[in-house]
Structure 1
Amino acid sequence: MKKVAKYLLLVFLVYSCQSRPSQWNGPVLGQPRNHLTVAELVEGETQPLIDMSYFAKPNWGTQATTPFSGTLLLQDTELSFPKEKDYYPGENIFPKLELDFISHRGELIPLLKERISTRHQSKSYWDVVVGTGKVWHEKEDGAWSRASFPLTLTDRWVGQARNCVATFVYKTDAVSNVCLQCSQETADIDDKQLGNISGLLPATYQAKQFADADQIVEQQDLEEARRLPTRPLREIDANKEVAGYFDKMIHTNAPTSLGAVWMNGKLYVHPPKTRHGLYPYPDNMRHGLYSVTKSMAGALALMYLEERYKGSVFEAKITDYVPALADHKGWQGVNFSQTLNMVTGNVGGESPDLLFSTLVSAESAEEAINRIARLGDAPEAPGEKFNYASTNLFVLSYALQQYVEEKEGKNVHYWDLVREHVLVPIGAGHFTLLHTIETDEAQAIPILAYGALPTIDEAAKIALLFANEGSYEGHQILNRERVKEAFGESKWKGYSTGNDYRGSNYQHSFWSKEIDTRKCKTKATYMLGFGENYVVFLPSKVIIFRFLDEHDLDIDELIKRVENLKSSCREE
């Protein structure tokens, strides 16, 4: 386990050479299909890497002749995953799973949409998140109906996301093998983690009726109705300036997993490309955003609790809630706000050795916090100097858990409060976040420094909550003053980063810098994570989303192109 974690720490290293998947020009699905036929799926014939259109419902597909209601059972299965380096233990194994689905109006609805932990029943390296798919019938399939669904593979240590699609054919009491293909990811290019995964998974089917089927369908309908309105990016980007940026080659032919622009009350989405065509389930595509988590989850939690407890949380002292740091010289006087803002005055950073020895290899929250307690005191006093360190966010997570238990009672989890009172109300209840590894998983707490796995809808809803000063439908969910501080809209302007290459200012986990748009200088405030994943807020009220894993820190050109669509500059 610790060997796995140590290798994973290469997520923070500098780019190194690797093989680069070439441009995909393979054929798309035609009628009749020549891949993933009934015979091939039933007999278990190995499939080549093919265009993702083969996994999607075609325009000639008709209503499924048989509804699906029951459990799809999958066993540990070896995958095809060509790599330049050795596998981490279980990295080439698809995990043993029992997946419950029902079909309704052509949709294949999973009963569980949260992250599925597999470590207690499988030798696999992967946990799984399943999304809503489709069921249909094709004329050539005879008595068989056909199904496919989106599936994300994610590790338990850092939070990469591999976007896969699975497909199979089925009858009333039988299923074929399940064909899986993963052709896109947000993972670590430095660790040579980019690559295609495929496999045929032996499957069995237990047909059953679920007592709560009506409620499941009702909830599915509600979730779909609450999705943000989306439109093709081309509607506002006729000259393809922004699309051209998202499509540019970096190291592979599909570097950007997803690009989108929120403008004028709509989310304009560029078609999400994989190395084998368009991803067929863009609404369910999950993205490993690494340090974007610090803002999307860390600031979100702290600002919610600041509102819940009437302004008492930001100034609370870390040593009052983290016993392991109570006698640590460097943590004396450090408050929750300084911890979020990376000005604790303690030793910390992003070096592989430090992160491995503190967070990634720790096998419990207590082990991680005790390791952090062994780090030294920096020369600066709390609040004096910006020093970016993921360990700070875990200290904050640990402290928030103790703070909430003091307020609410033993075993009340702060992230459960955030989910119930923030995420569910805004329609992002399935937002997935990496937690600590614990013997009792019920005691796990968020790492908070990395590990967010949102869909674009969830990411946009959280971003809009910040953009609307923490208010949703007339209810103040996040503390308004703290949100304004994060965007530099108060007397407090945050901390200078000393001209850090990532941005010039840092306020409550949000970076900022000035951009010369050729028309004027404007301020961009943004979430930023390894890869480089960005959520950018502009004064025009436009929000840009760029999810990437191929290292492009210079987003000035993207911002300039978006500014051409809607300017932040005041008209003279």
Structure 2
Amino acid sequence: MSVLYARRCCAVLAFLVLALVLVPFPPLAARPAYAATAVPGDRLTGSGAVNRSVLTAADLTSGAATGTVTDDAFALPAAAAAPTHTFEGTLTLNGVATAGGFRTIKDTYHYAATAALKHLPPVSINLVQNGSHVIPAVRGLQITGSAYWNVILGGGRAWNEKGDGGRTRVSLPFALVERNANCVHNGLLTFLFDGSTISQVRYQIVNETCEYFQFDMWGQVGATYSRHTVTGDTALKNAYAAEVTHRIPTKPISALSTDYPNAGIDTSAFGSGVTASALSTYGVSYGGVNYVGACRTRQGAYPYCNQMVLPSYSLAKTMFAGIVLMRLTQVYGSSVSSQLIRDWVSEADTSAWNGVTFQDTANMATGNYLSSAFESDEAGGGMTAFFDAESYGPKMTAALAFPHSAAPGTKWVYHSSDTFVLARAMQNYLASKAGTGSDIYRWIRDQVLVPLHLSPDVLSTERTDNSATGQPFGGYGLFYTQDDIAKVSRFLNADGGKIGGVQKLDATMLADSMQHNPANRGLTTTADTTGKTYQYQSGLWARQFTSADNPVFTSPVYVPFMSGFGGITAAMLPNGATYYYFSDNNEFGWSAAAAQAYKLPATGGGGRRLLGNDGFETGTAPPWTADDKVASDNTREVPHSGTRFAFIGIKADGR
């Protein structure tokens, strides 16, 4: 487990090593020669002349954490010099069970009444170093054994500052993850080390994506550095270099207006509609660039924005369950979606599940529910029992407890528990095809997620029994970075389910779910509190936009989107752009942002529309569908004949 963070301020000492609470350690044994691939953009060329007043060498040597400090204190400074020392071995934090401070910001369920929750779980991390990059040997969700917290570690940095007395400074991002839940609390840690000593470790958490439990946590503890060769160290370094290499290029969100000046984009719309203090991050993925907004914390910008851990909540219904169903169909044939749940989940072999198919369940149309009102069951006591259950048996029992109320496939009622049942059914179906040792999440990881070059954060999932071998939750329990959201959205939208030109998802199912087929828009949901209804299919929502929403929608447009608890949205527009944001104040206002993103010219597969072989200029020949980014009757253009025209490619003026 590992979660660490640093904090506080004091004056810089030029070089003195004071009576440092620094722990000596033995030298590393002689190493064989090796050549790791350098991380793109490394090496540091600064002078090390950093004007530091917060988390100085004296602070980390003999200071104490009395509160949180600016996150800039953990950031790589512009003048950072290349590290003179290399960290490899095990870092262990001492005394975390009782150390540190805690400040509650929001606590709906009174979690903070439990004292042990206010401290870090046990922290012992194997680390290697590639240039100035410090890399945890284990990435993704780590089960700590804590009754409350699991952890995710990201790659950090190492550098030298002149005020650190010849020692090298390290900073690492990490996240606490609530056990048996999807909340994420992002933090940082920092320390100094050299060839024989290590300082105390300062840690701090001042950000979360968690609607019901928000807090600041901080502390400074002694640490032990056990120097040794980490197994597979060169492979770890090379893997991290590859991870950075494969990230989508990023630009600030403001660059959209300068990159596409003729589109008339108002970038202030992005991130709007959500309380600023509740917004973790946002962005627009378009044209091979991830245009990103800030990663906000209560102490300024998060210095590892591209590694801020973001929870999926119900985005997993698309990015796990929906994608798995489409991949199973692509691999094993069209009969997969019509498989019966009761044939593959022994506990569901009851009359309530007669005739319920995989597709019905992915569509939230099992017919088993208490109330058909918009997400009424999802917020009810039956679902609370489902979410609270950690072990498989009670969780499945709660998932199957809803009474039979309608014919399968006829009524949309939103249940996270249904996706859990579907995940179990698909697990057992896969085992029948690929062998009893098969695991549904590891299968889709290897089939799709790894080829997409997603981050290690998404390559594991929460499971029953707080175990790496339990049943995946299916409908929640994944973790992402900004880069992951951009890549998966592009895969579903602009790339049409292809990787390297190879079709990975069933094209028909994906086209239906992405609203490319007017003959199959999925089920219509019941009305939400605003009176609006949506379409729903295979874990994907869709919202229709018209000129009544914004004049930019000159023709009706369906926008498929992923949606998650608390205020999470990834809207995939038909021009190939995706607008996403992660927040935790139950705000889902993204129509203004969608309208601005829709101004971008159609690109890639996201702008695909079916055109008949003739007659499209009248807009009447099936299977014609009109989209004002591809086809229009706008008087600015002159058709060959008839009244309508189509764009093939992107116009030079950006329209």
Could you say which residue in structure 1 is the equivalent of 2:70?
51
RMSD: 2.4
The partner residue of 2:200 within 169, 177, 185 is: 177
Q: Does 1:569 align with 2:589?
A: no
The answer to whether the Cα contact below 8 Å between 1:116 and 1:129 also exists between their aligned partners in 2 is: yes
Q: Does 1:542 align with 2:577?
A: yes
- Distance in 1 (CA, whole Å) between partners of 2:312 and 2:226 is 36
Could you say which residue in structure 2 is the equivalent of 1:499?
527
Secondary structure in 1 aligned to 2:77? coil
Secondary structure in 1 aligned to 2:480? coil
Q: Could you tell me how far 1:32 is from its partner in structure 2?
A: 2.8
- Distance in 1 (CA, whole Å) between partners of 2:388 and 2:196 is 44
User: For residues 478-493 of structure 1, what are the structure 2 equivalents within 5 Å?
Assistant: 478-490=505-517, 491-493=519-521
The partner residue of 1:406 within 414, 432, 444 is: 432
The partner residue of 2:90 within 71, 82, 94 is: 71
Deviations 1:143-188 (A, max 9, x none): 3210001101111222111111111111223322221122221101
Could you say which residue in structure 1 is the equivalent of 2:444?
418
Could you say which residue in structure 2 is the equivalent of 1:510?
540
The answer to whether the Cα contact below 8 Å between 1:433 and 1:446 also exists between their aligned partners in 2 is: no
- Distance in 2 (CA, whole Å) between partners of 1:247 and 1:542 is 15
- Distance in 2 (CA, whole Å) between partners of 1:391 and 1:305 is 21
The answer to whether the Cα contact below 8 Å between 1:186 and 1:289 also exists between their aligned partners in 2 is: no
Secondary structure in 1 aligned to 2:277? coil
Q: 1:551 to 1:449 in 2, by over 3 A?
A: same
Secondary structure in 1 aligned to 2:241? helix
2:408 is matched by which residue type in structure 1? P
Q: Could you tell me how far 1:503 is from its partner in structure 2?
A: 4.5
- Distance in 2 (CA, whole Å) between partners of 1:417 and 1:249 is 38
Q: Could you tell me how far 1:555 is from its partner in structure 2?
A: 1.5
Q: Does 1:390 align with 2:416?
A: yes
Could you say which residue in structure 1 is the equivalent of 2:564?
529
Secondary structure in 2 aligned to 1:81? strand
Could you say which residue in structure 1 is the equivalent of 2:256?
236
Could you say which residue in structure 2 is the equivalent of 1:367?
394
Could you say which residue in structure 1 is the equivalent of 2:313?
290
Q: Does 1:81 align with 2:107?
A: no
Q: Does 1:476 align with 2:534?
A: no
Secondary structure in 2 aligned to 1:260? strand
User: For residues 148-187 of structure 1, what are the structure 2 equivalents within 5 Å?
Assistant: 148-187=171-210
Q: 5+ unaligned residues in a row in structure 2: which ranges?
A: 1-8, 13-48, 371-376, 603-626, 635-655
- Distance in 2 (CA, whole Å) between partners of 1:183 and 1:237 is 31
- Distance in 1 (CA, whole Å) between partners of 2:200 and 2:581 is 35
The answer to whether the Cα contact below 8 Å between 2:66 and 2:101 also exists between their aligned partners in 1 is: no
The answer to whether the Cα contact below 8 Å between 1:41 and 1:169 also exists between their aligned partners in 2 is: yes
Could you say which residue in structure 2 is the equivalent of 1:16?
none
**Identical pairs, percent:** 26
2:425 is matched by which residue type in structure 1? A
Q: 1:429 to 1:321 in 2, by over 3 A?
A: farther
Q: Could you tell me how far 1:81 is from its partner in structure 2?
A: 2.2
- Distance in 2 (CA, whole Å) between partners of 1:88 and 1:219 is 42
Q: 1:230 to 1:401 in 2, by over 3 A?
A: same
- Distance in 2 (CA, whole Å) between partners of 1:203 and 1:418 is 39
1:555 is matched by which residue type in structure 2? W
Q: Does 1:334 align with 2:365?
A: no
The answer to whether the Cα contact below 8 Å between 1:237 and 1:565 also exists between their aligned partners in 2 is: no
- TM-score, normalising length: structure 1: 0.88
The answer to whether the Cα contact below 8 Å between 2:464 and 2:472 also exists between their aligned partners in 1 is: no
Q: Could you tell me how far 1:88 is from its partner in structure 2?
A: 5.8
Q: 1:309 to 1:98 in 2, by over 3 A?
A: same
- Distance in 2 (CA, whole Å) between partners of 1:324 and 1:302 is 21
- Distance in 1 (CA, whole Å) between partners of 2:245 and 2:194 is 31
Secondary structure in 2 aligned to 1:194? strand
Q: Could you tell me how far 1:237 is from its partner in structure 2?
A: 3.2
Q: 1:390 to 1:88 in 2, by over 3 A?
A: farther
Q: Could you tell me how far 1:262 is from its partner in structure 2?
A: 1.4
- Distance in 1 (CA, whole Å) between partners of 2:50 and 2:501 is 51
- Distance in 1 (CA, whole Å) between partners of 2:60 and 2:508 is 57
Tell which deviates more after alignment, 206-215 or 398-407: 206-215
The answer to whether the Cα contact below 8 Å between 1:154 and 1:160 also exists between their aligned partners in 2 is: yes
- Distance in 1 (CA, whole Å) between partners of 2:319 and 2:561 is 11
Q: Could you tell me how far 1:246 is from its partner in structure 2?
A: 4.5
Q: Does 1:453 align with 2:486?
A: no
Q: Does 1:427 align with 2:453?
A: yes
Q: 1:155 to 1:339 in 2, by over 3 A?
A: same
The answer to whether the Cα contact below 8 Å between 2:271 and 2:593 also exists between their aligned partners in 1 is: no
Secondary structure in 2 aligned to 1:426? coil
Could you say which residue in structure 1 is the equivalent of 2:620?
none
- Distance in 2 (CA, whole Å) between partners of 1:432 and 1:43 is 39
- Distance in 2 (CA, whole Å) between partners of 1:549 and 1:565 is 28
User: For residues 17-32 of structure 1, what are the structure 2 equivalents within 5 Å?
Assistant: 31-32=50-51
Deviations 1:78-124 (A, max 9, x none): 442212654164321201121111111211111111211112xx45x
Q: Could you tell me how far 1:241 is from its partner in structure 2?
A: 6.6
The partner residue of 1:223 within 234, 237, 243 is: 243
Q: 1:146 to 1:361 in 2, by over 3 A?
A: same
Q: 1:53 to 1:234 in 2, by over 3 A?
A: same
- Distance in 1 (CA, whole Å) between partners of 2:598 and 2:431 is 46
Q: Could you tell me how far 1:325 is from its partner in structure 2?
A: 1.2
Secondary structure in 2 aligned to 1:196? strand
- Distance in 2 (CA, whole Å) between partners of 1:73 and 1:243 is 44
- Distance in 2 (CA, whole Å) between partners of 1:132 and 1:242 is 34
User: For residues 549-568 of structure 1, what are the structure 2 equivalents within 5 Å?
Assistant: 549-566=584-601
- Distance in 2 (CA, whole Å) between partners of 1:495 and 1:389 is 14
The partner residue of 2:129 within 103, 119, 141 is: 103
Q: Which has the larger radius of gyration?
A: 2
The answer to whether the Cα contact below 8 Å between 1:172 and 1:207 also exists between their aligned partners in 2 is: no
Q: Does 1:254 align with 2:277?
A: yes
- Distance in 1 (CA, whole Å) between partners of 2:196 and 2:337 is 57
Secondary structure in 2 aligned to 1:557? helix
Q: Could you tell me how far 1:546 is from its partner in structure 2?
A: 1.0
Could you say which residue in structure 2 is the equivalent of 1:21?
none
Could you say which residue in structure 1 is the equivalent of 2:300?
277
Task: Report the number of matched residues.
Answer: 535
Could you say which residue in structure 2 is the equivalent of 1:15?
none
